[in-house]
Chains A and B, each alone.
Chain A
């Protein structure tokens, strides 16, 4: 709760400090706010203090673990994006403040205990991102991405609310623990209101995380949005949505596991195949990233399908590794700064900027799940947990990882290759210090984070 207030206030401060037309001041405030938020989130959990009594939010271990990485990812995204934010000094404050507001929504979605906070958190998470997707106002593609994201998001919100209303009709409660208790007590004699509500909430969640068959918006939106926003969507928004997904389905609706698990497993398989097969023929980098994120959503759904005490940790580890790879790759794409965002622009990167190229390779290999990078350990944890209950699902997931390796490796080779001699040589890219720091953090995490995960 303290963390939430701290982050919100630092967002407000950065809005007002932007009037000074000094972008570095805004960056400083935002980073200080994020770090203070992280510290207060941790200390509040560690010392169990609280200054007011409140109902609706509970920062338990789950919320703190996910919240800390949400804050970390936001910090990395803000640091990476600073070089592009400061080109428009009159808007730097707005952009950073909107990202921070969105983060408060994500924290809300990780710690809610009733449907009120869940719904508000979801909206606070999404609405700033609708705006940020369109923040590149001169570019039609950006506005179009914003509209598409907004339309699908608003539609999904409507479906979600209808689901919540049906659940309320079936259980007469908005509180998660009361709903859980009701479902356990009325074993076998549930009214169909609950089933319909559950299906509607499920489809709204699939919309939000971008799983098949409701994934169609995500490539367009990822492609059209500015790079920073794509990174934020892939890392933080997905984290918030998955956190809430797990809270609602693995905990609240655990009693109806037999009802939703088969449907969700079929959809997870569909998601993996759709993401992978479409990723094979992409030529634009952000579209590739979008399809790869769809595939990773498919893998991450396994943690929700499998009912085990370790599921939450596995999901956490998976998102942790995925976020670092994505943020690293997005940073590399910002450094390359190709107008058309072609994958081709990555050619020969390692010869021009050895370190940047190295991080790009690390990120790609980690997404592919090559040991000893962090992505491998994330995948390993998820698959090894699922293999006892759903061996066939894991088999399909492993086949998909194989398909995935193909296009990731193709890109790795592109990064390593020499540039064509007949074309004019691309000059060495300038790397700002902040992006260098982000790249270094991502490289360290990808290289050594994996070993920490399995202990």
Chain B
């Protein structure tokens, strides 16, 4: 099924810009206020998804597939980052028995 472009039917590009900005701000907020490292990682994923949404919106708007390929690469990187992040967390948990960011204060000076 092929729909007509959504931007022909009254939805403006600004709607998606605002939507993805709000999502991005929610992600930033989560990174700032949450203390659990896993949830902080999830908030970074929300930020990346906000970017993806904006990219796809622009791609559809300009009628150009480049940005969707970029989204593809963002997903590749998000997967790699999640892997590394979680393995760092597992490593830390083994040493510290906690993933609370506030407890990680061995490095001070």
Given contact pairs A116-B70, A119-B73, A165-B54, A140 touches B106 in the complex (Cβ within 8 A): yes
- For window 216-265 of chain A, which residues contact chain B by CB distance below 8 Å? 219-220, 223-224
- C-alpha gap A165/B47 in the complex (Å): 12
Given contact pairs A120-B73, A130-B88, A219-B109, A158 touches B104 in the complex (Cβ within 8 A): no
Structural contact, A162 and B50, CB atoms closer than 8 A: yes
- C-alpha gap A228/B104 in the complex (Å): 23
Structural contact, B77 and A140, CB atoms closer than 8 A: no
Q: How far is the CB of A219 from chain B (nearest CB, A)?
A: 7
Which of A148, A159, A172 is packed against the most chain B CB atoms within 10 Å?
Answer: A172
Chain B contact residues: over half helix, strand or loop, or mixed?
Answer: helix
Which of B66, B80, B104 touches A144 (beta carbons < 8 Å)?
B104
**Across the two chains, which residue of chain A brings its CB closest to B103?**
A144
Q: How far is the CB of A107 from chain B (nearest CB, A)?
A: 18
- When distances are taken between beta carbons in the complex, the residues of chain A under 8 Å from B51 are 158, 161-162, 164-165
- For window 69-109 of chain B, which residues contact chain A by CB distance below 8 Å? 69-70, 73-74, 77, 80-81, 84-85, 88-89, 91-92, 95-96, 101, 104, 106-107, 109
Q: Is B41 an interface residue (CB 8 A)?
A: yes
Q: Is A143 an interface residue (CB 8 A)?
A: yes
Structural contact, A123 and B80, CB atoms closer than 8 A: yes
Q: Is A65 an interface residue (CB 8 A)?
A: no
Structural contact, A162 and B24, CB atoms closer than 8 A: yes
Tell me the count of chain A residues lying within 8 A, CB to CB, of chain B: 42
Structural contact, B109 and A140, CB atoms closer than 8 A: no
Given contact pairs A123-B77, A158-B47, A150 touches B64 in the complex (Cβ within 8 A): no
- When distances are taken between beta carbons in the complex, the residues of chain B under 8 Å from A157 are 48, 77, 81
13 chain-A/chain-B pairs, Cβ below 8 angstroms:
A123-B81, A137-B91, A143-B92, A147-B88, A148-B104, A157-B48, A161-B74, A164-B51, A165-B58, A172-B62, A172-B64, A223-B107, A224-B107
Q: How far is the CB of A22 from chain B (nearest CB, A)?
A: 27
- C-alpha gap A131/B47 in the complex (Å): 22
Structural contact, A127 and B80, CB atoms closer than 8 A: yes
Which of B47, B91, B109 touches A143 (beta carbons < 8 Å)?
B91
Structural contact, A158 and B17, CB atoms closer than 8 A: no
Structural contact, B44 and A155, CB atoms closer than 8 A: yes
- For window 149-194 of chain A, which residues contact chain B by CB distance below 8 Å? 150-151, 154-155, 157-159, 161-162, 164-166, 168-169, 172, 174
Q: Is B26 an interface residue (CB 8 A)?
A: no
Q: Is A415 an interface residue (CB 8 A)?
A: no
Given contact pairs A154-B81, A158-B51, A161-B48, A116 touches B73 in the complex (Cβ within 8 A): yes
Which of B41, B80, B106 is packed against the most chain A CB atoms within 10 Å?
Answer: B106
Q: How far is the CB of B39 from chain A (nearest CB, A)?
A: 12
Q: Mark A277-289, 1 if CB is under 8 A from B, else 0.
A: 0000011100100
Q: How far is the CB of A23 from chain B (nearest CB, A)?
A: 23
- When distances are taken between beta carbons in the complex, the residues of chain B under 8 Å from A311 are none
**Across the two chains, which residue of chain B brings its CB closest to A281?**
B109
Given contact pairs A154-B85, A172-B62, A147 touches B109 in the complex (Cβ within 8 A): no
- When distances are taken between beta carbons in the complex, the residues of chain A under 8 Å from B95 are 140, 143
The list of the 10 closest CB pairs from A to B, nearest first, reads A158-B47, A220-B107, A161-B51, A165-B54, A140-B95, A143-B92, A154-B44, A144-B104, A169-B58, A141-B106
Q: How far is the CB of A326 from chain B (nearest CB, A)?
A: 19
- When distances are taken between beta carbons in the complex, the residues of chain A under 8 Å from B106 are 140-141, 144, 224
Q: Is A145 an interface residue (CB 8 A)?
A: yes
Which of B62, B67, B89 touches A147 (beta carbons < 8 Å)?
B89
Q: Is A134 an interface residue (CB 8 A)?
A: yes
Q: Mark B11-28, 1 if CB is under 8 A from A, else 0.
A: 000000100100010010
- C-alpha gap A140/B93 in the complex (Å): 10
Given contact pairs A116-B70, A158-B48, A150 touches B88 in the complex (Cβ within 8 A): yes
Q: Is A115 an interface residue (CB 8 A)?
A: yes
Q: How far is the CB of B10 from chain A (nearest CB, A)?
A: 20
**Across the two chains, which residue of chain B brings its CB closest to A166?**
B54
- When distances are taken between beta carbons in the complex, the residues of chain B under 8 Å from A164 are 51, 70
Q: How far is the CB of B27 from chain A (nearest CB, A)?
A: 7
- C-alpha gap A123/B78 in the complex (Å): 10
Q: How far is the CB of B87 from chain A (nearest CB, A)?
A: 8
Q: Is A293 an interface residue (CB 8 A)?
A: no
Which of B48, B51, B69 is packed against the most chain A CB atoms within 10 Å?
Answer: B51
